[in-house]
Amino acid sequence: MELLSVGRVSGTHHLKGAIKVTSNIGDLEILNGNKVMVELASGEIKILTVKKVSSMIDKKWIVEFEEFTNKTDASSIQNGVIKVRRDLLGIEEDEFLANDVIGMKVLTEDGESIGEVVDIYETAAHDIYVIEDEEYETMIPDVDVFVKKIDFEKNQMVVSLIDGMREKKKD
C-alpha cells in the first residue's frame, strides 16, 4: 500500500499536545479519526491516531492526536513528514498528486537524462514541471505533447523537448 506525504509538522500549538502542520493537499479534515504515519528526520516512524483537525490559515492546520497530551509529546515529531494511505484521500491507484513527481528523474525520448523535477508551478492552464541538473534548468508544461510517460515504479518521467525549454543556469 502506497503512502502519500500530506504535510510537515511545523511546530507545537498550545500546551495540550496539538501540532501545527503545513499541508500540501487541500483539506486535512478528511484525516479525522484515521491513523497516520509520521516519518522523522532520524528515520524513526510513529503511527498516530488523528483526534481533531482544524483549519488555521491558508495551508496551515492544527492537528490533535489521541496519543499526545502535552507539548513535550508533540515536540517529539517536530519537522516530521505526515504520510497517509492513498485511499484516505480518495485518490485511485492510477491517479497522482502533482507533488508525487517531485524528485522524479527525467529523460528525453532518446534516453538522455536532463535532471530531476525540483518544483511545480501551477498556472491557470496546466502545471509546469521545473527540472534541474547541474548545468541546466528546464521548464516543461504538463501536457501530453511534452510529457510522454510518467513511471512511478521506476521513478522517472519521459519528455519531448522543443527549442527554448532548456536554459543554462546563471551563476
Name the residue among 36, 44, 34, 32 with its Cα closest to residue 4: 36
The CATH number of domain 98-168 is 2.40.128.20: no
CATH code of 3-89, in short, is: 2.40.30.60
User: Tens digit of pLDDT for each residue in 111-123?
Assistant: 999 999 988 888 8
Assess whether pLDDT exceeds 70 at residue 171.
Answer: no
Q: SS3 for 85?
A: strand
Delimiting residues of CATH 2.30.30.240 domain(s) in the chain: 98-168
Selected residue with higher pLDDT from 50 and 24: 50
Task: Count CB-CB contacts under 10 A for residue 4.
Answer: 19
Question: In the prediction, which pLDDT does 94 show?
Answer: 66
Name the residue among 88, 90, 14 with its Cα closest to residue 54: 14
pTM over 0.85: no
- The DSSP 8-state label assigned to residue 137 in this structure reads E
User: Tens digit of pLDDT for each residue in 54-99?
Assistant: 998 888 999 999 999 999 999 999 999 998 887 787 776 666 776 6
